[in-house]
């Protein structure tokens, strides 16, 4: 499993770029606020399989480039 830590706007951009009902959309939909008492707006923690994270990376490269570094870092960490 890979845990992506994204902003609310990054999650919204990625959800808008993937088909509703897809595995990618479902993973984003299940995202949980992360450290919500510390940061406003709260970052969103999205847990997903490595294959989903790789597909989200491909989507982010085209539709949400500011999320690319976070997704790449999470993938690299998940491969360790």
In tens, the pLDDT along 25-75 reads 999 999 998 765 665 677 999 999 999 999 999 999 999 999 999 999 999
Residue 17, sorted as left (phi over 0), alpha (psi -120 to 50) or beta, turns out to be alpha
Task: Give kind and range of the element (H or E) at residue 59.
Answer: helix 50-63
From first CA to last CA, the distance across the chain in angstroms is 11
pLDDT band at 3 (very low <50, low <70, confident <90, very high): very high
pLDDT at 26: 97
Residues 6+ positions from 2 with CB-CB distance below 8 Å: 47, 48, 49, 50, 52, 53, 74, 75, 77, 78
pTM over 0.85: yes
């Amino acid at each position: 499993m890979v845990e992506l830590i994204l902003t609310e706007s990054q999650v919204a951009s990625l959800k808008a770029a993937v088909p509703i009902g897809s595995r990618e959309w479902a993973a984003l939909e299940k995202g949980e606020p992360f450290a919500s008492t510390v940061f406003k707006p709260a970052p969103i923690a999205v847990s997903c399989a490595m294959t989903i994270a790789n597909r989200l990376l491909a989507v982010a490269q085209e539709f949400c480039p500011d999320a690319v570094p976070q997704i790449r870092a999470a993938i690299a960490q998940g491969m360790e």
